[in-house]
Amino acid sequence: MIRDITIGQYYPADSVIHRLDPRVKLMGALLYMVSLFLFQGLAGLLLITVFLAACIGLSKVPLSYMVRGLRAIVALLVFTSVFHLFLTPGEHVLFRFGIVSITMEGVANAVFMLFRLIYLIVGTSIMTLATTPNALTDGLEKALRPLEKIRVPVHAIAMMMSIALRFIPILIEEVDLIMKAQMARGADFENGSLIKRVKNMIPLLVPLFVSAFRRADDLAMAMEARCYVGGAGRTKMKPLRYAKRDYVAYLILAAYLAGVIALRAV
Amino acid sequence: MSIILDKVDYVYSADSAYEIRALNKISLTIEDGAFIGIIGHTGSGKSTLIQHLNGLLKATSGGIYFNGRDIYEPDYDLSRLRMQVGLVFQYPEHQLFATTVFDDVCFGPMNQGLDKNEAGLRAFEALKNVGMAEEVYYQSPFHLSGGQKRRVAIAGVLAMKPEVLILDEPTAGLDPKGRDEILDLIADMHQKLGITVILVSHSMEDVAKYVQRIIVMNDGSVLYDGTPKEVFSHYRELEAVSLAAPQVTYLMHELRAAGIVADDGATTVEEAKESILKAFGRKGSV
Ligand SMILES: Nc1ncnc2c1ncn2[C@@H]1O[C@H](COP(=O)(O)OP(=O)(O)OP(=O)(O)O)[C@@H](O)[C@H]1O
Ligand SMILES: [Mg+2]
């Protein structure tokens, strides 16, 4: 039940996208998002489609995994496209019914918005599906390193992020287990009034917090036992280094963004 | 009055890349009043199996019948089933939550709809049954030792007066003394309360000493099902699935091979002693 929640689930595969440096993928995701909001017209959309299709193909992740994230936002998709459809003013009125009217511009807007949102979810999910959470935080840490100059505790933030990510599935499992154990004692998490339901959460939340604190304590102890003292002077077993493919990827990204901007003018 | 499993299959995360077939065509009959051990190595599906017996997991296919009624019928009262089939999870002490030991044990009976007095009586009786001293009843359960917490958690299930008591590795993480205490307690409850007990364990030694019937799980299927004697006679096959018979079984097989004893079916140290003494034509203590 609760286990079906997936947060940034990694899909193991051996592909160019998987092997890229996480910094490239982070940058790529960022530029891709920018491009989604920059593009205008069909030509731009076409270029983005080609780029996205290429990335999906290269990543070797089954399309069904990327589309899965869309299920959660179906309501949002319907909502925004309906809004754009009916509320965009324009000259070419296609259809009028009382005060409601659908314009040519409205249709175009709705379609583009729909594509934007779908492409946003699918595109960014490539990054999370093809990068392990650890690589992602490593990449983030290194990319944000310059901020250390202004006393931002980049290492600590990255460490906290990777621990948090690591604990999400563990906690989900724990919730599942405690829920089952309390259900075996007759607890009911589904029925009753709102107040009753909130009260019924106590037998779930107390053990969950107790175990989360115990785990945190154990982890802190284990880290200290291995002489962890924070980021200063710490080296990495697998330091991030750009390979040739990463530079090529940056070039492709730059060309892609330039293309999207250039097509705006068309 | 029994639990019948008919070709039960269970698949975790069905229809995804992470699909795991945890149970494979399990058919079993669990009679009233039986004392059954379920063993199998890690990941063989023991915990998955027992979560079916009180309806926490729903079989992907197959049927389960409790006292002759199909528990998957739409109008079957699953919450009642969960009280008739008490399930003590692995590390049950991690599920304690109330401010006092007593309140925690009352949780089950209160959910059954009993009033405060009646629930309190049940809790009292259950705590006594698991051998908890009265002075800790009103302490926080979080201040007890590991073994004590486990007793409290077991009492929490016992207080619902289940007809069937299932315990998932009740001895995990306890020292030898704590382990024997818990197992003796369970055997005692089986005798005294006359309930059906199902004991999940990794350890053949634990199981052999107490149960009347052993079910060996391997890779989601039942590999052997019989009395300890029958099951341990397959000790070579058990090794092949990374389980082992109790040490005395090996000893007795050696002794028989050497022509010293006639019967190598002993599964506990006591029985072994008897047959060795018999072989030497003596009776009494050594
Ligand atoms: N909630 C779950 N989600 C997905 N797979 C699971 C889940 N629980 C168990 N499994 C898988 O199902 C199989 C059987 O697990 P199960 O917990 O029943 O084994 P077990 O015999 O109880 O093992 P152990 O002795 O370690 O407790 C294993 O392969 C396990 O990885
Ligand atoms: Mg288990």
Give every CB contact of residue B162 below 8 A, 6+ residues apart in sequence.
B83, B84, B85, B86, B195
What does the domain layout of chain B look like in residue ranges? Answer: 2-228, 246-286
Distance separating alpha carbons of residues B219 and A96, to the nearest angstrom: 65
Q: Which residues of A touch B95 (CB under 8 A)?
A: 178, 181-182, 203, 207
3-state secondary structure of A16: helix
CB B132 within 8 A of CB B182: no
For chain A, state the CA radius of gyration.
Answer: 24
DSSP-H helix ranges across B113-145: 116-129
CA distance B244 to B230: 14
Q: Any CB–CB contact under 8 A between B111 and chain A? A: yes
> Contact, A106 vs A84, CB < 8 A?
yes
Interface contact A125, partner B, CB < 8 A = no
Q: Quick one: pLDDT at residue A69?
A: 73
Rounded CA gap, B115 and B177, in Å?
Answer: 37
In this predicted model, what pLDDT tens digit does every residue of B61-120 receive, in sequence order?
Answer: 999 999 989 999 998 988 889 989 999 999 988 889 999 999 999 999 999 889 999 999
Using the Cα atoms of residue B133, residue B136, residue B138 and residue B143 in order, give the sign of their dihedral.
negative
With contact defined as beta carbons under 8 Å apart, do B174 and B150 qualify?
yes
The proportion of chain B whose per-residue pLDDT surpasses 90, expressed as a percent, equals 51
Ligand 1 atom 14, closest CA: B45
A240 DSSP assignment: -
DSSP conformation letters of A31-65 = HHHHHHHH--HHHHHHHHHHHHHHHHHHHT--HHH
Residues in chain B: 286
Sign of the CA dihedral B177, B179, B180, B186? positive
Distant-in-sequence, close-in-space partners of B246: CB < 8 Å, separation ≥ 6: B204, B205, B208, B232, B267, B268
The encoded tokens of residue A15 equal 């592909």
Contact of B99 with chain A, judged by CB distance below 8 Å, is answered with no
Q: What is the band of B17 on the pLDDT scale with cuts at 50, 70, 90?
A: low
Nearest to A135, CA basis, from A33, A8, A35, A31: A8
Q: Which atom of ligand 1 is nearest to the CA of B41?
A: 25
Give the pLDDT mean for B153-161. Answer: 93
Question: pLDDT digit of tens for each residue in chain A (266 aa)?
Answer: 444 444 557 888 899 999 999 999 999 999 999 999 898 888 899 999 999 999 999 998 888 888 877 887 888 888 888 888 888 887 777 777 777 778 888 888 888 889 999 999 889 888 888 988 888 888 988 888 899 899 888 888 888 888 887 788 888 889 999 999 999 998 888 887 888 888 889 999 999 999 999 999 999 999 999 988 887 777 888 888 899 999 999 999 999 999 999 988 76
B92: CB partners within 8 A, 6+ apart: A181, B150, B153, B154, B156, B157, B170
> What CATH code is assigned to B2-228?
3.40.50.300
Cβ-nearest to B56 among A65, A183, A206: A183
The answer to which of A10-19, B224-233, B246-255 has the lowest mean pLDDT is B246-255
Q: Look at residue B286 in the predicted model and tell me its pLDDT.
A: 47
Among protein residues, the one whose CA lies closest to atom 6 of ligand 1: B12
The mean pLDDT of B25-43, rounded to a whole number, is 92
For residue B191, count CB atoms less than 10 angstroms from its CB and return exposed for 0-12, middle for 13-18, buried for 19 or more. exposed
Q: Could you tell me if B248 and B266 are in contact, meaning their C-beta atoms sit under 8 angstroms apart?
A: yes
CA B36 to chain centroid, in Å, comes to 7
Residues 6+ apart with CB under 8 A from A119: A36, A48, A49, A52
A8 vs A132: CA distance, rounded Å = 9
pLDDT averaged over chain B?
88
Which helix (DSSP H) or strand (DSSP E) does residue A259 occupy?
A: helix A244-265
pLDDT of residue B197: 94
Asked if residue B4 has pLDDT above 50, the reply is yes
Task: Provide the pLDDT for residue B152.
Answer: 93
Residue A1 confidence (pLDDT):
40
From B87's Cα to the closest Cα of chain A, the distance in A is: 6
Could you say which of B54, B96, B108 has the minimum Cβ distance to residue A207? B96
Residue B264 reports pLDDT greater than 90: no
Q: What is the pLDDT of residue A255?
A: 95
- Tell which atom from ligand 1 comes closest to the C-alpha of B45: 18
Residue A5: what pLDDT?
45
Question: In whole angstroms, what is the distance from residue A178 CA to residue B125 CA?
Answer: 25
Reply yes or no on whether the pLDDT at B244 is more than 90: no
Q: Is B201 helix (H, G, I), strand (E, B) or coil?
A: strand
The verdict on B102 touching A (C-beta cutoff 8 Å) is: no
Question: Residue A237: CB partners within 8 Å, gap ≥ 6?
Answer: none
